Amino acid sequence: MNRFRMIAALALIYMVFAILLNSVGTVILQAIVSFGVDKPQASLLELFKDLTIAATSLLVASFLPLLGYRRAMIVALAIVGCACVLMPLYPGFHTTELLFTCIGVSFALTKVAVYSSIGLLTSNKAEHGRLTNTIEGLFMVGVLAGGWIFSAFIDRAAPANPSWLNVYWLLAGMCVLVIVLLAGSRMDESAAHTEKTNSMRGSMMEMLQLFLRPLVYVFLISAFLYVLIEQSFGTWLPTFNNEVLKLPNAMSVQVASILAGTTAIGRLLAGQVLRRVPWYVLLNICVIGMGLLVIVVLPLARNVVARADIDWFNAPVAAYLIPLIGLLMAPIYPVINSVALSSLPKPSHAAMTGLIVIFSALGGTLGSRITAIVFARFDGIHAFYFSLVPMTLLLVSLFLFKRETDREGAAIPAGIRLTAK
């Protein structure tokens, strides 16, 4: 029962942060109209979030076993909950920057704690793979829910109305509820401790020693490239829908949430597909499919004319086709994470997850920034076409990652058949 309660807490905290993290696209759109900032300035919100995630992970990830994973999650929720309260009380772009800074700090603590806790709550690699995919799938459910939650608070008649900031009262309440659940849960964290991880110096050495393994840095490059692609679409799709496809603000956010829905479905289906298809083959099919979808669908977004009577039944077909890229993106991140983590001893999971978070954050920041610049100087269509570059590089990094897993004999979770054949 206590194990189930702890797993439920992990799922809920991940869903809360899914809403907060992936609200950046919606907040960028609303900040432009509510606070009068331009696109490059609004894109700095991604910078405040991701660089803070990277810095926090670098500084505290390897030390987190000393604090305790459950306590770290409670601290993270308390920080972000307080930041949410400030948004409706002191509306403004600087408050929004503070919010995303707090989200970055809190998510860094949370992701390291959640991924490391998965290792403690599972007894073998099959369970590890299944729970990782389930948690990541529920993360995307949170992203999907977040789009509709935020859109419900947007004034359709006057999108610049700051009434949308009232959503943060709801999010602060959710943080409190998860804190209560975590406070009533217990987890044996003794397996996360060794002589090395029981001191700050030893914990830092644990992280640095991971770089001696080629498997690790090839994996980190793959994670970096994937998140660069994901954030390019996830962050800027609401603005793309609004400015390129001429959808109203609230509808732009709602339609963009289809991306989260397709990603959630893709991750839930991935476990079944991977029972029959080798992980390396599947991921290559997904990346190539993503590229083909971009090439085929983006021309349909050209020369869209604004209409006063636009609704779900007469929206441009591209609005529904672009989010399908989520089905193809879905398996990549949880699969490569599970491959890397399950090949390491449990005391190394915190340090390794810290590196994952750092490189993912850097990829997200760079992806969003590049998209913002191309979007501002050219248009959204050119910005999304640019994603073909990291997609090509990801194919190369996956090949190198596969080669290193074969060399090291890294066993992949048998329960979801990730083993390359």
Greater model confidence, 135 or 283: 283
The residue-averaged pLDDT of 314-340 equals 89
Residue 413 has pLDDT above 80, yes or no: no
pLDDT of residue 165: 94
Would you say residue 336 lies in a domain?
Answer: yes
CATH number assigned to the domain comprising residue 396: 1.20.1250.20
pLDDT tens digits for 98-119?
999 999 999 989 988 888 888 7
Joined tokens for residue 179: 């804190």
Concatenating the DSSP letter of every residue in 41-59 gives HHTHHHHHHHHHHHHHHHH
Q: How many domains does the chain have?
A: 1
In a domain, 195, yes or no: no
Stated pTM of the model: 0.72
Look at residue 421 and tell me if it is in a domain.
Answer: no
pLDDT bucket at 127, cuts 50 / 70 / 90: confident
The H or E element spanning position 391 is helix 388-408
Domain assignment present for residue 196? The answer is no
194 belongs to a structural domain:
no
Judge contact between 172 and 81, C-beta under 8 A: yes
Within a 10 A sphere around the Cβ of 296, how many other Cβ atoms? 10
**Residue 246: pLDDT above 50?**
yes
Within a domain: 198: no
Q: What pLDDT, in 10s, does the model give residues 168-181?
A: 999 999 999 999 99
Per the prediction, the chain carries an average pLDDT of 83
More confident residue, 396 or 159: 396
Largest pairwise CA distance in the chain: 66
Residue 273: closest CA among 219, 327, 333, 339: 327
Instruction: Tell me if 362 is assigned to some domain.
Output: yes
Residue 62 confidence (pLDDT): 65
User: Domain range spanning residue 225?
Assistant: 2-187+203-416
